[in-house]
Amino acid sequence: MRALIVLAFVFALVPSGLAQDWKQVHKKDEAKWAKATGLDPAAIHKMWRAASQTSDESEDDSRIANIDLDGLAERHDVMLVTYAGEKNCLAITVFRQLGETQFSKVWSLQQGPDGKGFCDTSFGSAKAEALHGAVLVRSPRATSDGADTVYSYQWNGISYRMSGQKQVQ
């Protein structure tokens, strides 16, 4: 009986010992990206929270994949790319920089026109970048032909809208 109680106690501790400390993970992400971009860690935290789909910060498994300050700079826009979930699905969020530490969410995207998320597959990783005023999202196809789909989103004066789609090797 005593052995069962000890065993039950050990099994009760195992999940909590293996659980990810998301607060520390996010703090490290924010420090890393603050160093890389020169942005204030608190501003990065606010952007990450505004981009998040999870209301409880301690349960949010999203991580920062990219912060691009240059590709959309002509409109004072900053692109934040996060990934989450088992398949590392991307969420792309664009913020307008209003001040040194003040940002306003302008646009976000989690899936392509086919209704599927921008997720890693066994054939490659999803990626997003801002280039010459456009948001480009590269999504690996779920086939072994080596081709990916690249979606392009351009500013139309009101919002970012899909402006093209092509297959690339």
Which tens digit of pLDDT belongs to each residue from 50-82?
A: 998 888 888 889 999 999 999 999 999 999 999
Beta bridge partners of 67: 80
The whole model's pTM is what? 0.84
Cα(142)–Cα(24) distance, rounded to whole angstroms? Answer: 34
Of 90, 108, 103, the closest CA to residue 40 belongs to 103
Average pLDDT of the residues of the chain: 87
Q: Is the pLDDT of residue 143 over 80?
A: no
- List, in order, residues 6 or more apart from 90 with CB less than 8 Å away: 65, 81, 82, 83, 110, 117, 118, 119, 126, 127, 128, 137
Judge whether 57 and 65 are in contact, CB under 8 Å.
no
Q: Specify the pLDDT at position 21.
A: 84
Q: Is the pLDDT of residue 160 over 50?
A: yes
Length in residues, the chain: 169
Per residue in 86-120, pLDDT tens?
A: 999 999 999 999 998 999 999 999 999 989 999 99
At how many degrees (to 10) do helices 22-37 and 41-51 cross? 120
